Chain A
Amino acid sequence: MTTKPVALFVTCLVDLMRPRIGFAAIRALEAAGCSVVVPEGQTCCGQPALNSGDRQHAVELAKQTIAALEPYAAVVVPSGSCAGTIRCHYPEIFQHDPQWLPRAQAVADKTFEIMAYLDEICGWRPEGVTLDAKATYHDSCSGLRELGIKAQPRRLLKNIDGLTFAPLADEETCCGFGGTFCVKYPAISNAIVGEKADAIDASGADLLLAGDLGCLMNMAGKLHRKGSKVRAYHAIELIADMGDGPAIGEEA
């Protein structure tokens, strides 16, 4: 097997809130035959600034991220929304900047959401992974609509022995996270995630899976507040055979 060098863009939420998603990403990528590098200069892709209208800071953080990622052949991100920011929005941000546009476009073209990368680029499937559980899957919006991530995580998860699936009603409906939306309009966000949590409970699943930590923290936080027993994981944790570790909000 040839070794494919890839850079892991960790995302600020994964870095601070749940590092094991980053380690799961490395583990899965290495199992798929990649050699993983974690570039030093990375922090945040600038999405919060971009979506809040703070153009200047969005541009600065995009430039920093581009500079950190451009030496590598491919960039892999364990988040549909951060990958979407780099792939779809960086070229937009620099559309009138002849110096930065080609650099932004080049990084955009080689940036992938992790499950799409493992499935489509590596053609890889987890092997020998067993987990007896019933899971339900929420399709996070940016990954789904900006990057077309829908079948890829399901194809990978289907390879896990013992894992069964419960359909989630309105699985493509936003959970109400929306980055800063959830703190700027908490009452609306709460009404939306309340319905999502009810649908998750009604699915009868033991596990909630998704591909974005922001959405997962929102849904898991609501499930915990309402006393639900459903446990939440980033899908890559299960795919990397780390589904036996603590779920979001469980102490190690």
Chain B
Amino acid sequence: MNAASADNFHARVDAALADPTLKIAVERTAGTAEAKRGVAVAAFPDFEAARTRAAAIKDHVIAHLGYYLEEFEANAIAAGAKVHWASTASEACKIVVDICQTSGAKSVARSKSMLGEEIGLPHALAEAGISRIETDLAEHIIQLADERPSHIIWPAMHKTREQVSALFKAKHRSPHEEETIAAMAESARRELRTQMLGADVGISGANFLIADTGAVCTVTNEGNAELSLVPPRIHIVTAGIEKIVPSMPHAIHMLRMLARSATGAALTQYTTFYTGPKRPDDRDGPEQMHIILVDNGRTKMREEGLAEMLRCIRCGACMNHCVVFRQIGGHAYGGTYPGPMGSVLTPAIDGLKQSRDLPNACTLNGKCQEVCPVRIPLPTLLRGWREKSWREGLEPTSMRWGLGIWAWVARRPALYRLGTGIALWAMQWMGKGGWINQLPLAGGWTRYRDLPKPARHSFMAQYKKDHRP
């Protein structure tokens, strides 16, 4: 469903840059996250060693994915869950819809899951006529506004408090009267709780799948996962196969990295491990638990040089610290996942042809890699996509010609000195003073900034003249 939307990047960027409210909203949340992460990381004893360990844990499971998935499956089944396998997004959606329809479910309560977005689950449920309530506060805002998430941790980060207030007033049955965050949260609580408790099915993602117990771990800051997964008759988990960790101590290590990198907190408010459905003497809990293990391109990513990307624990630190994301927000990226990690994932999920702008629209400044808790070499992976795009002829002709001519001349130093000498001579007549404010073929530069007038003679020419024997 996202294939077409990664197209038209430039148009979405222009719209985002023209929206002053978006900039304020993104800066508020990402700026706060950046500051809080800085404090949390500085207080963490040897964060660098912890990053190395986190990367090693993920590398190990990605290299032995089959082994750990089978171990997880056996233990989840032993705990009473039913395990399904889906190789594509549509297969995964079909399994969810079938479970709902077979059990006569009319309504589902969903706890935020980016995988659900990735596979197009909201759309699939709507098509099947199953009513859906989003229980995460930000997802609730998005659902009311009929939009898509713009960040993986804060799906509604693109909206200001003022915009959310107006939205609640228009859509809630008994909206807040006082313009305070507490009153707005209370309004959302009133709206959501009644619907949550009446849902037939609870659907969640998984932050971690724990192989040696068959448990599924979710984290939230609102407790909405617990509220939406325990009361319904059925709990459905959709999880990417890369979410696996060998055991609880590994999960705990990853949780410490996740929370600090995402929000700067030591842990999220609610961290819950679900192991199988309700047992005979349990008072509460779902009667059935279904776990759908989704590939959707992950095996292919591992085979095609993107194994390091499968380390990603979806913390959002890369986007919070990205100069490009901070200017254009998440929607401009067009895929499910925005920011640097999205620019690596979207071409793998939706296809490079539709999303070739994403790996290109990056300054390769390396900040994302610097803050990634699992040390994903994002700039290197982005360069890899650029190379593939170049090889497949997807890059614009102007760029191919421009670079081709530059490289051809630069391979011939004598010709290069002659050619650049003529160019420098010609540029002496442009602009005024020391600056050029309009340059043919360089409109991208001079539309926004002046270009210092180059030297009359190149360094090499001057140096040769001075050093002539």
Contacts and interface: CB of A to CB of B under 8 A. Distances in A.
A52 B328 contact: no
Interface string B297-327: 0000000000000000000000000011001
Contact of B328 (A38, A43, A188, A246): A188
B420 interface: yes
Interface string A183-197: 111111111111000
Contact of A224 (B14, B364, B435, B442): B435
Contact of A191 (B17, B363, B390): B17
A212 to B, nearest CB: 12
Interface of A is mostly: helix
B468 to A, nearest CB: 13
A190 B448 contact: yes
A249 interface: yes
A177 B452 contact: no
A224 B367 CA distance: 27
A179 interface: yes
A217 B453 CA distance: 10
A182 interface: yes
Contacts of B380: 92
B49 interface: no
B222 interface: no
Interface in A168-216: 172-174, 176-194
Contact of A193 (B370, B423, B434, B449): B449
B411 A176 contact: no
B440 interface: no
A48 to B, nearest CB: 6
A41 interface: yes
Contacts of A217: 451-452
A222 B449 contact: yes
Interface stretch (B66-74, B118-126, B141-149, B402-410): B402-410
B463 A187 contact: no
A221 B403 contact: no
B449 A141 contact: no
Contact of B458 (A15, A180, A248, A249): A15
Contacts of A14: 459
Interface in B420-469: 420, 423-424, 433-435, 437, 442-445, 447-455, 457-460, 462-463
B143 to A, nearest CB: 30
A154 B399 CA distance: 37
A146 B434 contact: no
A170 to B, nearest CB: 9
Interface size class of A (residues with CB under 8 A): 35 or more
Interface stretch (A57-65, A108-116, A158-166): A57-65
B389 interface: yes
Contacts of B247: none
Interface string A5-34: 000001010111111001100000000000
Contacts of A184: 360-361, 399, 444
Contacts of B407: 44, 46, 49, 54, 57, 60-61
Given A145-B366, A180-B399, A22 B327 contact: no
B190 interface: no
B383 A174 contact: no
B365 interface: yes
Interface string A51-90: 1111101001100100000000000000000000000000
Contact of A250 (B363, B406, B434, B459): B434
Contacts of B423: 16
A105 interface: no
B363 A249 contact: no
Contacts of B363: 141, 174, 176-179, 181, 189, 192
A43 B416 contact: yes
Contacts of A194: 448
A54 B403 contact: yes
B401 to A, nearest CB: 11
A52 B410 CA distance: 16
A16 to B, nearest CB: 5
B463 A224 contact: no
A179 B399 CA distance: 13
B266 to A, nearest CB: 25
Nearest to A51: B364
B323 A176 contact: yes
B362 interface: yes
Interface string A222-242: 101100000000000000000
B460 A10 contact: yes
A202 to B, nearest CB: 16
B387 interface: yes
With a 10 A CB-CB cut-off, give which of B328, B363, B424 has the most chain A CB atoms. B363
A80 to B, nearest CB: 11
Contact of B361 (A16, A49, A185): A185
Residue of B458, B459, B462 ringed by the most chain A CB atoms within 10 A: B459
A244 interface: no
B324 A188 contact: yes
A49 B403 contact: yes
Contacts of B387: 53, 55
Contacts of A136: none
A21 to B, nearest CB: 8
Contacts of A146: 366
B364 A53 contact: no
Nearest to B392: A53
B278 interface: no
Interface in B179-198: none
19 contacts: A10-B459, A17-B455, A19-B462, A52-B386, A52-B399, A53-B383, A53-B388, A54-B403, A57-B407, A141-B363, A173-B367, A180-B399, A183-B444, A183-B445, A187-B448, A221-B450, A225-B449, A246-B434, A248-B452
Question: Which 5 residue pairs spanning A and B have beta carbons closest together?
Answer: A178-B363, A53-B386, A221-B449, A53-B390, A57-B407
Interface of A: 10, 12, 14-19, 22-23, 38, 40-44, 46, 48-55, 57, 60-61, 64, 92, 141-142, 144-146, 172-174, 176-194, 217-218, 220-222, 224-225, 246, 248-251
Given A46-B410, A178-B363, 16 more contacts: A16-B459, A19-B457, A23-B463, A43-B411, A44-B406, A51-B386, A52-B403, A53-B386, A60-B407, A141-B366, A174-B363, A179-B364, A190-B448, A218-B449, A221-B449, A250-B433
